[in-house]
Chain A
Amino acid sequence: MNSLLPYLPFLLSVISGHVLLSLIIGDKKTFSPLLHLSLGTGLGLGVNAYLTSLSFMLLDRYNQTCIITFNIFFLTGLLVLFLRTKNGVYSFTDSLYPNATGLRNHNNILQSVWVLYCLPLFAILRRGSIKQYGLRDTIYFITLIILFIPLFIMAKFYPYGGWDAWAVWNFKAKFLLMAGNHWNLIFDPALWRSSPHYPLLLPLINLWGWSFLDEPTYQVPMLTSLLFTFLTMGLLITGLKEWSKSHLVILSAVCFTVSPFLAKTAVSQYCDVLFGYYLLASIFCLIKARQFNNPGYGFLAGIFTGFLSFTKSEGLVAGLILTALSVFYLIGQHEPPTTFSKKTGIKDKFTMIAFAVGCALTMIPAIVFYTFLAPENITSINGLLSKTNPADFTRLKIILIFYAMELVSNKWNGLWIVLFFGLSLGWKNILKPQILIIPLFLSLYTLTVSFYYFTNTYFEIAWWLSVSLNRILGAVIPTVIFWVFYALWQDDADAKKIGK
């Protein structure tokens, strides 16, 4: 039984994310189950991590009972809400049991448990989307599993992840689990090698994973890393399929598994996997929100952007850039009306408001963390003001040369070259208004990161770039792959949209 306990929290996250997504998006019969799984699981894990942090806020320590209770209550609340929706489980119950009115009263405890926890799952699985996408998604799912075998083998070799995984992320999670009332010592400057100023989303997810077993087993961080890689690959394929008829979009996930460096980065248990996933999820939901003027997707995009900002310091930068861009992107909806946006008028403003609300819900904890909890980053010197470590022209030259060298280096085995080749082939489409947010985001993010590399002169720049740039590239690569495939299959995208 104990060997199954590390997996139980993840299963609960899958369920809570799935139900929460159904409540936010509503009953879309055209929603692919694999897409639902890819988006819902990331959503569930993020929410469960935030609920786990309540234990520290309310009891000032890790408390197993508190964490499990909060999360079970949350799931129960979601299921009750789901039961109350018109497309929820009642319609399914009624079709199964013509005289099922008794079930609605929940007088019998067993019946209530059955209705509350089991029927919603069947109801979700029985939706129209299964009929429409069942075979296609099953084939994609099996393909993903096959592609995942080499990653799984690699992950087993790195059960504790790369250096930064155990020295930063897994260390923080272990610290939070075992420090009792002294968990605040995690911000002690003596721990500067573990970057105490980094946010805690990944450690909190791992902590949630450990909560049932109450022990820091290595399986949980490994599973977190593998799961987010799997979700990213699933989101790439099913996300692209939303705008393309071609099954060749499956090659977008293949990119992930055949590059040894990218595969190693993906299973090293670094936070960049979460960054990559939440960035892609935010952008995907923003594109959908704009296309269909759908506040549900706007809200989801906001939530994912907030999670993104709590992954790591670069995540906060990315989250703020994405938030700023979203204002213009969502307000400037000038596409011809679609089935969903015909009813607009006031609804287009709702999409923006929904994004802002979602963003506030998940970004405020991140801002509170950065403002009140995180210690000052002591590995920082302002090179623009410093006389001993000035930011000079040589530093800038090294940065630019390193960028070019990194993109063509053997490490990536030509993947970046092919992606740039793809962008040049789809040059007509890469700047179209519907996906303009991707190039704008990537440009602003590159500029900001470059500016930081230039101005923070604490580290010797060549060494710093050699250990960090490849991970920054690895984190944005899912979004770049999405951009390339979307740009090249734009015509199918238009056709499919018109079809809707």
Chain B
Amino acid sequence: MPNFITQFQIPKFLPRILFMTGLSITIFFNVPMMNKEIRQIRKIQRLLPHRYQIPGYQFAGLEKTLENVHYVGYYTDKDMEQLENAKQFAQAQFMLAPKILVLNSTDYEYTIFDCGSADVALNKIKETGAVALKRNPFGIILARKTQ
């Protein structure tokens, strides 16, 4: 018996078959998940127009006013520890590239105000001695310092 065990050799094809079986089982379980994922994607695609998929679409159009400007302040009263707010800032940076947005700074000629309410934004604009130039439907205000 011990002799048989020491002399026993695994057939060459066995590891391959075992591996293929394992892989096939994984594929078998993964295909329905992939299908589910694709169905969800198609559903969302139908509901969400392309322009709302563009990162930073809320800030589109501001770049025309900011031609030849390299640094722009970005003031917000939102909690930047929150993922969604941090994401909105990053999206603004992507949309307005190559302008560099400096978070919570009102020291530059132009500042973007992304506040929870228009009153907060307008008070801050007044406080910094700036003038509101534009306000878009998403509540984003672009202000410019006169001096």
A residues whose Cβ falls under 8 Å from a Cβ of B: 150, 153-154, 156-157, 159-160, 163, 166-167, 170-171, 174-175, 178-179, 182-183, 185-186, 188, 190-191, 193-194, 218, 246, 248, 251, 254-255, 257-260, 263-264, 413-415, 418, 421-422, 425-426, 484, 488-489, 491
* With A150-B34, A167-B90: A160-B55 Cβ-Cβ less than 8 Å: yes
Task: Confirm or deny: B15 has a beta carbon within 8 angstroms of a beta carbon on chain A.
Answer: yes
Proximity bits, B6-30, A CB within 8 Å = 1, else 0 = 0000001001101110110111011
Q: Tell me whether A170 and B34 are in contact (CB under 8 A).
A: no
Selected from A160, A260, A425, the residue in CB contact (under 8 A) with B19 is: A425
CA distance A163 to B87 in the complex (A): 8
- The distance from the CB of A405 to the nearest CB of chain B, in whole angstroms, is 19
Chain B residues within an 8 Å CB radius of A171: 93-94, 97
* With A171-B93, A171-B97, A174-B98: A251-B29 Cβ-Cβ less than 8 Å: no
Selected from B37, B53, B102, the residue in CB contact (under 8 A) with A159 is: B53
Q: Tell me whether B94 and A174 are in contact (CB under 8 A).
A: yes
- The distance from the CB of A338 to the nearest CB of chain B, in whole angstroms, is 23
Chain B residues within an 8 Å CB radius of A421: 18-19, 22
Considering the complex, give the chain B residue whose CB is closest to the CB of A415.
Answer: B26
Chain B, range 77-112, C-beta contacts under 8 Å to A = 87, 89-91, 93-94, 97-98, 100-102
CA distance A451 to B130 in the complex (A): 49
Considering the complex, give the chain B residue whose CB is closest to the CB of A159.
Answer: B53
Chain B residues within an 8 Å CB radius of A183: 98
Q: Tell me whether A182 and B97 are in contact (CB under 8 A).
A: no
Chain B residues within an 8 Å CB radius of A246: 16
Selected from A175, A190, A259, the residue in CB contact (under 8 A) with B30 is: A259
Q: Tell me whether A251 and B20 are in contact (CB under 8 A).
A: yes
Q: Tell me whether B97 and A260 are in contact (CB under 8 A).
A: no
Task: Confirm or deny: B33 has a beta carbon within 8 angstroms of a beta carbon on chain A.
Answer: yes
* With A159-B50, A185-B70: A167-B93 Cβ-Cβ less than 8 Å: yes
CA distance A188 to B103 in the complex (A): 14
Q: Tell me whether A163 and B90 are in contact (CB under 8 A).
A: yes
B residues whose Cβ falls under 8 Å from a Cβ of A: 12, 15-16, 18-20, 22-23, 25-27, 29-31, 33-34, 37-38, 41-42, 44-45, 50, 53-55, 70-71, 87, 89-91, 93-94, 97-98, 100-102
CA distance A300 to B13 in the complex (A): 34
CA distance A170 to B91 in the complex (A): 12
Chain A residues within an 8 Å CB radius of B97: 171, 174-175, 178-179
Chain B residues within an 8 Å CB radius of A254: 27
Q: Tell me whether A248 and B34 are in contact (CB under 8 A).
A: no
Chain B residues within an 8 Å CB radius of A167: 55, 90-91, 93-94
Considering the complex, give the chain A residue whose CB is closest to the CB of B86.
Answer: A193
Selected from B15, B37, B90, the residue in CB contact (under 8 A) with A425 is: B15
Chain B residues within an 8 Å CB radius of A426: 15, 19
CA distance A146 to B134 in the complex (A): 49
Q: Tell me whether B37 and A154 are in contact (CB under 8 A).
A: yes
CA distance A166 to B91 in the complex (A): 8
Selected from B29, B44, B50, the residue in CB contact (under 8 A) with A413 is: B29
Q: Tell me whether B16 and A258 are in contact (CB under 8 A).
A: no
